[in-house]
Amino acid sequence: MADTAVTMEKIVNLSKRRGFVFPSSEIYGGLGSCWDYGPLGVELKRNVKAAWWRDTVTSRPDIVGLDASILMHPDVWVASGHVSNFTDPMVDCKLCKGRFRADKLEDSVCPKKPSKQPGQCDGELTEARNFNLMFKTHMGPVEDSGASVYLRPETAQGIFVNFVNVVNSARMKPPFGIAQQGKSFRNEITPGNFLFRTREFEQMELEFFVKPGEDDAWYIYWRDRRLAWYKAYGIRAERLRLRDHGGDELAHYAKGCADVEYEFPIGWQELEGIANRTDFDLKAHINQSGKDLSFFDADSKERYVPYVIEPSAGADRSTLAFLVDAYDEDGPEDDRRVVLRFHPSLAPIKVAVLPLMRKGGLPEKAQEIVEMLRPHAAVSYDQAGSIGRRYRRQDEIGTPFGITVDYETLEDDTVTLRDRDSMEQKRVAISELVDIITKAIAPPSLAAGLAP
Amino acid sequence: MADTAVTMEKIVNLSKRRGFVFPSSEIYGGLGSCWDYGPLGVELKRNVKAAWWRDTVTSRPDIVGLDASILMHPDVWVASGHVSNFTDPMVDCKLCKGRFRADKLEDSVCPKKPSKQPGQCDGELTEARNFNLMFKTHMGPVEDSGASVYLRPETAQGIFVNFVNVVNSARMKPPFGIAQQGKSFRNEITPGNFLFRTREFEQMELEFFVKPGEDDAWYIYWRDRRLAWYKAYGIRAERLRLRDHGGDELAHYAKGCADVEYEFPIGWQELEGIANRTDFDLKAHINQSGKDLSFFDADSKERYVPYVIEPSAGADRSTLAFLVDAYDEDGPEDDRRVVLRFHPSLAPIKVAVLPLMRKGGLPEKAQEIVEMLRPHAAVSYDQAGSIGRRYRRQDEIGTPFGITVDYETLEDDTVTLRDRDSMEQKRVAISELVDIITKAIAPPSLAAGLAP
């Protein structure tokens, strides 16, 4: 019996073949750990990001958005601790000049003697030195250290440095949040596992500011709510878990931290971390900048530095999780199909319109239905190959609905509507299609409750 | 009489005060030419990008999307010519060590003697040398030249290197397009004019592939269509123009090029360039990579390298143009108002709900209306200050509709609906609101016609 279990290899292959994800710069041999989203992947990721933005920002009165630049003043990263602490310990081999993570030597191989690990070959290793994981570049025409800037390693700091600007311009008061989506860059020594760990990646971060003393309740609220979010968009409950960090795992600034983890084919891995960062970041920027970033409550006449609850998700690894989780193979062994069971609101294409034959007026009628549906749902048209083969093609990219136009359609304006998951087909009137499909692809309702 | 004309200074000040755009890293003194979008600005820019994506990609059967990584293989920039040619000539002053654009010396000032230009002070200038405008960084743990990578200076090349991947996976054939939105980086010597010229910026680029011989007609098509796009979203016709490049202005690879220009307060400036890039880019990558990037037409049995028509727009400068163009001051001199007359589909907030008083059940009734509208339109609630002042606050951020809830509302379920532009108020039933507002904020209809 063929193995129908999902593997990373199946996902990588399907991604390239059907246009979800391509290796970056592939015609030049690729660029380590960089990936390009193809026509279907870009829509899937856009849908994931739109779902997060809708549920985190536009559907809530207590959260506003922000979009800070990737290049920031270097002092930001002094204040945040990234210049001093965002490092991995590295050793160099004096013989082969290779550089390796000192704490992962047993996972590394000598480039000249691949059967050995560094230090066990003929080479001598240097003492461990700290290697900063931020990408550095130079701004302006002069390449001196005064012009050095970093590509941001996280979007969060763009929110903290704008805290006062947002409070003043948007008249927000705690409890309230500032949310951001955008690219970050980390010069990881060992990226890998497809989209899971890449040096260029996109984050979806929320910094939620609360009065000290109210932070424990909000921490629990966001921890539970973020887990529920992935479930609402269809991730299987048995492949999701919340894992609370033990005291020895906690960052020095964090009062509490939990990871939403997903069981990838490579094992349980973090999708998102929810942390109680206390007032660490705002206080760090107060100290570094000399500016007052406290909040004054005009009602209670109290002044305080808010605590921050941070749900920090990866847009690429979430997209990967939705892709992996959607993957299924079913049917009898002699007639297997691959199907991506995306939540309809996340599927890149919502409906495919298929004329049964390429003649007799069926293509023209099908095109009319395409244009009718286009303002309401991402729609594609396919007339190439047998109808069974066309269904399978749509199953493999996760299209929730197939509409077949046949000779009966020309007589009574009905079509066959096929459901991706059950493969059931039913006859419906063309006039019902917009209503049926817009209802089916609507976003899920999240659990009510905007506060702990 | 006060000067009611729009200036860049008015736009910068309004942007900071109301949360459209903040100076990046402002608490650290800012970072040259970098800006952060605040709560309103992020929604405005998202609406501009969504309009472009909808009109360019999802509403058309002949264009698909892509999202390539910012970091690409260095050979991409050798092939594209950026490594050799994407340069400005620079001179150094041997005395003050300043570096200046050799072709713009008359616009530069000596850092030590600001009354003089470089070379006219006591300092001696070096010969001009070429300074590459790409940001360079290092990938992986070793900082040697083999690990040098660039931040992409344009998104277009990510499309060209994926041409074959898209053709194969999405089964597209010319005429068809690949569209992309994303950040690019250029180490400009003289950035400036707010969002207009920044070192980090976002592009909206379409590469439209056609059979050689069909390129002239498609070039005219896209040139006219892109001009019409800005008009459809409300930019004043008298501040827009198409300017065809003269023969001496044309890049060596371009057969034709035209700019959509907008009359900013600083003068006429490019919003978007539409170029016939011929087969220059695909052929350059064929030569550099040794890969076959030609297209084989299975119907006509012809093989050819497509020509490319490229409409390349700036997301930030488009957003700036929509902001500047929306700006207006009207009313009698003793009662002036500032109003942003955004096209309703682009306005960050569509409707504000305002209880006339903070008592008598009016806030609760207003909140009910907010929740009713929220799934349909970006809505805000404001109960602070006089009703007149609240209207002005909404005018200043471009909210098309104000809904006032008063005691009559509690009796007959009607509200006052105020129009931003005319300031006219009319009484409407609450049950009509969703319909009135969703119709008013719908995207404009573009001119029909998917082909020349």
Please tell me the distance in Å from B3's CA to the nearest CA on chain A: 25
Q: What is the CATH number of domain B349-440?
A: 3.40.50.800
Work out the pLDDT band at B112, boundaries 50, 70, 90.
Answer: confident
Per-residue tokens: A264: 């990838």
Please tell me the distance in Å from A351's CA to the nearest CA on chain B: 13
Per-residue tokens: A93: 């081999």
Extract the runs of DSSP E, i.e. beta strands, from A144-234: 148-150, 176-185, 200-210
CA-nearest of B231, B232, B210 to B219 is: B210
- Does residue A447 surpass a pLDDT of 80? no
**Contact at 8 Å (CB) between B258 and B223?**
yes
Per-residue tokens: B363: 């806030």
Work out the pLDDT band at B253, boundaries 50, 70, 90.
Answer: confident
B39, A291: Cβ pair inside 8 Å? no
The phi-psi region of residue B7 (left if phi > 0; otherwise alpha if psi is between -120 and 50; otherwise beta) is: beta
Q: Could you tell me what percent of chain B has a pLDDT over 90?
A: 81
DSSP state of A448: S
A267-278/A351-355 β-pairing: unpaired
If DSSP states are collapsed to H, E and C, what string results for chain B?
CCCCCCCHHHHHHHHHHHCCEEECCHHHCCCCCCEEECHHHHHHHHHHHHHHHHHHHHCCCCEEEEECCCECCHHHHHHCCHHHHCEEEEEEECCCCCEEEHHHHHHCCCCCCCCCCCCCCCCCECCCEEEECCCEEECCCCCCHHHEEEECCCCHHHHHCCHHHHHHHHCCCCCEEEEEEEEEECCCCCCECCCCECCEEEEEEEEEEECCCCHHHHHHHHHHHHHHHHHHCCCCHHHEEEEECCCCCCCCCCCEEEEEEEEECCEEEEEEEEEEEECHHHHHHHHHHCCCCCEEECCCCEEECCEEEEEEEEHHHHHHHHHHHHEEEECCHHHCEEEECCCCCCCCCCEEEEECCCCCCHHHHHHHHHHHHCCCCCEEECCCCCHHHHHHHHHHHCCCEEEEECHHHHHHCEEEEEECCCCCEEEEEHHHHHHHHHHHCCCCCCCCCCCC
Sort out which chain A residues have CB atoms less than 8 A from B158's CB and list them: 36
Residues 344-403 of A with CB under 8 A from B: 370, 374-375, 378, 380-381, 384
**Contact at 8 Å (CB) between A82 and A256?**
no
Over residues B291-315, the pLDDT tens digits come to 999 999 999 999 999 999 999 999 9
First CA to last CA across chain A, in angstroms?
50
Placement of tokens 């933005």 in the chain: A53
Length of chain A: 452
- Does residue B181 surpass a pLDDT of 60? yes
Placement of tokens 């062994």 in the chain: A333
**Mean of pLDDT values over A33-49:** 97
Sort out which chain B residues have CB atoms less than 8 A from A139's CB and list them: 31-32, 135, 187, 199
Length of chain B: 452
Over residues A4-20, the pLDDT tens digits come to 899 999 999 999 999 99
Q: What is the pLDDT of residue B194?
A: 94
Over residues B187-231, the pLDDT tens digits come to 988 888 999 999 999 999 999 999 999 999 999 999 999 999 999
- Does residue B1 surpass a pLDDT of 60? no
- Predicted model pTM: 0.96
Among the partner residues B26, B45, B375, nearest to A165 by beta-carbon distance:
B26
Distance of CA B119 to the CA centre of its chain: 38
* Helix or strand holding residue A412 (H, E): helix A407-412
Sort out which chain A residues have CB atoms less than 8 A from B139's CB and list them: 31-32, 135, 187, 199
Please give the ipTM for the structure prediction. 0.96
Over residues A104-133, the pLDDT tens digits come to 888 888 888 888 888 888 888 998 888 899
Average pLDDT, chain B: 94
d(CA A324, CA A318): 10
Residues 69-128 of A with CB under 8 A from B: 69-73, 75-76, 90, 97, 99
CA dihedral A312, A274, A54, B326 (to 10 degrees): -50
Q: What is the CATH number of domain B8-71+152-324?
A: 3.30.930.10
Residue type, A213: G
Closest residue, chain A, to B442 (C-alpha): A375
- Does residue B2 surpass a pLDDT of 80? no
CA-nearest of B292, B138, B48 to A135 is: B138
Closest residue, chain B, to A292 (C-alpha): B27
A30 touches B at CB < 8 Å: yes
**Contact at 8 Å (CB) between B429 and B405?**
no
CA dihedral A98, A104, A110, A111 (to 10 degrees): -50
- Does residue B142 surpass a pLDDT of 90? no
Please tell me the distance in Å from B412's CA to the nearest CA on chain A: 27
Secondary structure (3-state) at A296: strand
Over residues B46-58, the pLDDT tens digits come to 999 999 999 999 9
- Does residue B20 surpass a pLDDT of 90? yes
Per-residue tokens: A366: 């099908």
Would you say the C-alpha torsion A13, A16, A17, A20 has a positive or negative sign? positive
* H helix runs in A81-148, sequence order: 82-85
Q: What is the pLDDT of residue A113?
A: 86
Would you say the C-alpha torsion A70, A74, A76, A82 has a positive or negative sign? positive
Per-residue tokens: B170: 């999405």
Over residues B400-415, the pLDDT tens digits come to 999 999 999 999 999 9
For helices B8-18 and B387-397, the axis angle rounded to 10 degrees is: 120
Please tell me the distance in Å from B416's CA to the nearest CA on chain A: 22
Please count the other Cβ atoms lying within 10 Å of the Cβ belonging to residue A89.
Answer: 14
Per-residue tokens: B322: 């929509």
Please count the other Cβ atoms lying within 10 Å of the Cβ belonging to residue A81.
Answer: 15
CA-nearest of B348, B358, B353 to B371 is: B353
Q: Which range among A97-111, B14-28, B238-252, B352-366 shows the weakest confidence by mean pLDDT? A: A97-111
Work out the angle at residue B187's Cα, subtended by the Cα atoms of residues B183 and B188, and round it to the nearest 5 degrees. Answer: 110
Calculate the alpha carbon distances from A196 to A50, A133, A192 in Å: 20, 17, 7
A64 touches B at CB < 8 Å: yes
Mutation to test the B interface, candidates A12, A26, A53, A71, most B Cβ within 10 Å: A71
Backbone angles phi, psi at A55, to 5 degrees: -75, -25
Q: What is the pLDDT of residue A408?
A: 97
Mutation to test the B interface, candidates A47, A82, A135, A169, most B Cβ within 10 Å: A169
A25, B293: Cβ pair inside 8 Å? no
Work out the pLDDT band at A448, boundaries 50, 70, 90.
Answer: confident
Please tell me the distance in Å from A383's CA to the nearest CA on chain B: 12
B131 touches A at CB < 8 Å: yes
Say which residues have a Cβ less than 8 Å from residue B325's Cβ, sequence separation at least 6: B234, B235, B236, B239, B262
Same fold, A8-71+152-324 and A349-440: no
Over residues A233-257, the pLDDT tens digits come to 999 999 999 999 988 888 888 899 9
Work out the pLDDT band at B145, boundaries 50, 70, 90.
Answer: low
Please tell me the distance in Å from A38's CA to the nearest CA on chain B: 5
Per-residue tokens: A37: 């989203």
Q: Could you tell me what percent of chain A has a pLDDT over 90?
A: 81
A200, B65: Cβ pair inside 8 Å? no
**Contact at 8 Å (CB) between A200 and A183?**
yes
Placement of tokens 């009703």 in the chain: B387
d(CA A448, CA A226): 13
Per-residue tokens: B198: 């920044």
**Contact at 8 Å (CB) between B73 and A28?**
yes
Q: Which range among A72-76, B249-253, B425-429 shows the weakest confidence by mean pLDDT? A: B249-253
**Contact at 8 Å (CB) between B153 and B82?**
yes
**Mean of pLDDT values over B321-348:** 96
Residues 277-336 of B with CB under 8 A from A: 285, 288-289, 291, 293
Q: What is the pLDDT of residue B146?
A: 64
A60 touches B at CB < 8 Å: no
Calculate the alpha carbon distances from B84 to A31, A206, B19 in Å: 21, 42, 41
Please count the other Cβ atoms lying within 10 Å of the Cβ belonging to residue B355.
Answer: 25
Per-residue tokens: B430: 């609450």
Over the Cα atoms of chain A, what is R_g? 26
- Does residue B442 surpass a pLDDT of 80? yes
A200 touches B at CB < 8 Å: yes
Q: What is the pLDDT of residue B35?
A: 97
Q: What is the pLDDT of residue A189?
A: 82
Q: What is the pLDDT of residue A97?
A: 80
Q: What is the pLDDT of residue B54?
A: 96
Work out the pLDDT band at B143, boundaries 50, 70, 90.
Answer: low
B31, A72: Cβ pair inside 8 Å? yes
Work out the pLDDT band at A143, boundaries 50, 70, 90.
Answer: low
Over residues A352-375, the pLDDT tens digits come to 999 999 999 999 999 999 999 999
CA-nearest of B65, B201, B158, B185 to A31 is: B158
The phi-psi region of residue B263 (left if phi > 0; otherwise alpha if psi is between -120 and 50; otherwise beta) is: beta
Sequence ranges of the domains in chain A: 8-71+152-324, 349-440
Q: What is the pLDDT of residue A92?
A: 86
Would you say the C-alpha torsion A265, A266, A269, A272 has a positive or negative sign? negative
Per-residue tokens: B285: 């990558």
**Contact at 8 Å (CB) between B89 and B102?**
yes
Please tell me the distance in Å from B254's CA to the nearest CA on chain A: 24
Over residues A66-101, the pLDDT tens digits come to 999 999 999 999 999 999 999 988 888 888 888 888
**Contact at 8 Å (CB) between B354 and B383?**
yes
**Mean of pLDDT values over A421-449:** 94
d(CA A175, CA A217): 12
